[in-house]
């Protein structure tokens, strides 16, 4: 289905059925469409707070997928996790009901906004989108926001505003972000990832360049990492206004970086002039870079340095991004969504200056293809922890047919422990935990549930 066709359906009175409606990006889509006057229904595999919230708005939500759920719908919107053999997809196609992807719907919606800030990159999307949201609110832009995680400021992962700005975390997987219409496109970094979809790094770079080229030729702005060679190579010769950022290179840079109790303070320079002074509440050089990217986006949108400083100063982290869960036997327990070697390295380097006696990294690899393709990189970064504890791979959308396992990772990382199940992991961590430890629960699957077991008795 073309983008033009979905535009025709997104109008008051049209019945739209959303599959996976309780998901982090589908729930806000349902609320936005409902607010636009569409008659929204949805389905999900289980009840949840999100489902209850939607029902409170008058959205009919079915638990389970069944052909009759799409009866009367004029269009169906699905996530990438919903496959063609799903009974609702089969029924919709049999009845001639058009089926669209979630990204196509968001793309159509963002065309109604004067400013569409889309944040992309292999790492840092959620945090940078969250920082941009804080700055936008400080600038009184009243934005609509879609983040792939929970932002404590919002109490959820999205916000429906009434301003002329929309801010979206923009994922490259399955080229979802190529359905968007950014006026400001942020590219934080480009590395090999999602190799179950992309052929290689060059293929990934091609998609990111296409994303940048979606910005309007005359008025669009691309924000790019001057210190990331893959990004600069992908954007070579790009005919768009570009604002680059970096610690020491680019249009937006940091000056006078210091650390107080592991947290960074620095001046943000734009074209050599002070734009704002930043004092972050999140650790790590990677978060300094994320903040510089957010400032570059703010500059592109005309937001003041005062708003940027206030927004960054009030940002205390996004959900599942170095999120404190509590204590276990005197150890501090944190959860982090890192699932790529580059992200894990940034996390482990960021916590070095926080004063812990020992860093315990409990890691649940995410997907067999990523673990297989980046096996050696995972081994090297896990060696940075004082103790690495591995649990079985979270399959997500995949099946185990590549012959790779967490047990193999554990064998390759000296001194590490292997726990086949999450129950085993919880028991081992409880036994290991002691005062002065930082226990990191790392991964994009369900390892965060171990945190509840560790910190609740």
Q: pLDDT per residue over 274-329, tens digit each?
A: 999 999 999 999 999 999 999 999 999 999 999 999 999 999 988 778 899 999 99
pLDDT at site 269:
98
| Residue 4's pLDDT band (cuts 50, 70, 90) | low
pLDDT at site 74:
96
How much is the mean pLDDT over the chain? Answer: 93
- Higher-pLDDT residue of 209 and 26 is 209
pLDDT at site 33:
93
| Interval 134-151: pLDDT, tens | 999 999 999 999 987 778
| Interval 354-383: pLDDT, tens | 999 999 999 999 999 999 999 999 999 999
List the beta bridge partners of residue 276: 268
- Residue from 79, 122, 125, 242 carrying the catalytic annotation: 125
Indicate if 125 belongs to the active site: yes
| Residue 243's pLDDT band (cuts 50, 70, 90) | very high
pLDDT at site 457:
60
- Residue from 126, 129, 367, 391 carrying the catalytic annotation: 126
Indicate if 169 belongs to the active site: yes
Indicate if 126 belongs to the active site: yes
Percent of the chain with pLDDT over 70: 99
Indicate whether 252 pLDDT > 60.
Answer: yes
Question: What does the pLDDT average to over 5-34?
Answer: 91
- Higher-pLDDT residue of 215 and 318 is 215
Among the residue ranges 43-47, 414-418, 420-424, the one predicted with the least confidence is 43-47
Q: In what order do the strands lie in the sheet with 39-44?
A: 60-63, 39-44, 15-19, 75-78, 99-101
What pTM, to 2 d.p., does this model score? 0.82
Q: Which domains does the chain have, with CATH numbers?
A: 3-105 (3.40.50.720), 113-314 (3.40.1190.10), 323-455 (3.90.190.20)
Indicate whether 2 pLDDT > 60.
Answer: no
> Who's near 106: CB < 8 A, 6+ residues apart?
25, 29, 146, 168, 179, 180
Please, are residues 457 and 451 in contact by the beta-carbon 8 Å criterion? Answer: no
Indicate whether 156 pLDDT > 90.
Answer: no
**Quick one: tokens of 224?**
């790019």
- Residue from 27, 88, 101, 169 carrying the catalytic annotation: 169
């Amino acid at each position: 289905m073309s983008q033009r066709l979905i535009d025709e359906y997104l109008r008051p009175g049209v019945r739209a059925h959303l599959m996976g409606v309780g998901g982090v990006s589908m729930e806000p889509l349902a609320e936005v469409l409902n607010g636009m006057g569409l008659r929204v229904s949805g389905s999900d595999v289980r009840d949840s707070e999100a489902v209850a919230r939607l029902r409170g708005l008058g959205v009919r939500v079915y638990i389970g997928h069944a052909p009759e759920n799409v009866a009367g719908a004029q269009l169906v919107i699905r996530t990438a996790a919903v496959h063609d053999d799903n009974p609702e997809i089969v029924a919709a196609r049999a009845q001639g009901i058009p089926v669209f992807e979630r990204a196509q719907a968001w793309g159509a919606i963002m065309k109604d906004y004067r400013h569409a800030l889309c944040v992309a990159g292999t790492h840092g999307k959620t945090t940078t989108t969250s920082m941009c949201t804080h700055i936008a609110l400080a600038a009184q832009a009243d934005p609509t926001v879609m983040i792939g995680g929970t932002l404590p400021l919002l109490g959820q992962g999205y916000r429906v505003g009434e301003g002329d700005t929309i801010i979206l975390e923009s994922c490259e997987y399955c080229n979802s972000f190529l359905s968007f219409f950014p006026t400001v496109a942020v590219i934080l970094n480009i590395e090999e990832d999602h190799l179950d979809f992309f052929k290689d790094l060059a293929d990934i770079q091609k998609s990111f360049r296409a994303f940048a080229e979606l910005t309007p030729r005359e008025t669009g702005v691309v924000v790019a990492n001057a210190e990331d060679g893959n990004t600069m190579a992908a954007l070579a010769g790009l005919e768009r206004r570009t604002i680059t950022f970096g610690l020491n290179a680019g249009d937006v840079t940091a000056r006078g970086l210091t650390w107080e109790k592991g947290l960074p303070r620095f001046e943000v320079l734009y074209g050599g002039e002070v734009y704002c002074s930043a004092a972050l509440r999140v650790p790590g050089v990677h978060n300094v870079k994320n903040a510089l990217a957010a400032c570059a986006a703010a500059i592109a949108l005309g937001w003041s340095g005062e708003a940027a400083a206030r927004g960054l100063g009030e940002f205390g982290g996004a959900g599942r991004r170095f999120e404190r869960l509590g204590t276990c036997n005197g150890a501090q327990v944190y959860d982090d969504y890192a699932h790529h070697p580059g992200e894990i390295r940034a996390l482990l380097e960021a916590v070095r200056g926080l004063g812990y006696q020992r860093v315990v990294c409990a890691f649940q690899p995410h997907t067999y293809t990523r673990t297989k393709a980046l096996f050696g990189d995972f081994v090297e970064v896990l060696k940075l922890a004082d103790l690495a504890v591995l649990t079985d791979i979270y399959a997500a959308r995949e099946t185990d047919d590549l012959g790779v396992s967490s047990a193999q990772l554990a064998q390759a990382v000296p001194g590490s422990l292997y726990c086949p199940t999450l129950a085993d992991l919880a028991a081992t961590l409880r036994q290991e935990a002691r005062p002065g430890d930082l226990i990191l629960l790392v991964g994009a699957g369900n390892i965060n549930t171990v945190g509840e077991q560790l910190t609740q008795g």
